Amino acid sequence: MLLIFTVLLAFLNALAFAADQSPDVAFSLTQEYRPDTEWRTCRSAGNVRTNCGFCYLRGSFLGWNCACDTFCHNTMNECYYITESNPGGYEKISCVRDQAITV
């Protein structure tokens, strides 16, 4: 019974930690666990070259990723990426949304 309680407590703690990651916490984890350091052009940032980052959707942490346009362009996400011009920090990327065509 104690083992089940301990596992449940650890799970709830991890869930709360992941759900409430501030940009500073997410950035430090991104730097530690990013899969590569390749710079990629991100049209959502005006073709700024970015590396791995992290995104939120209306305050909920979505996780880490390295494909800026996939997770940012035409989404409601709030994204932060490591940029080539500032590799020791992170910058908020203004996600570009295409204009909707009204008929």
Q: How confident is the model at residue 12 (pLDDT cuts 50, 70, 90)?
A: very low
Of 68 and 7, the one with more pLDDT? 68
pLDDT in tens, 42-96: 988 888 899 999 999 877 888 888 999 888 888 888 899 999 999 999 999 888 8
Question: Domain coordinates of the chain in residue numbers?
Answer: 22-93
pLDDT > 70? residue 39: yes
Q: Record the pTM.
A: 0.70
| Tokens matching residue 40 | 């990629």
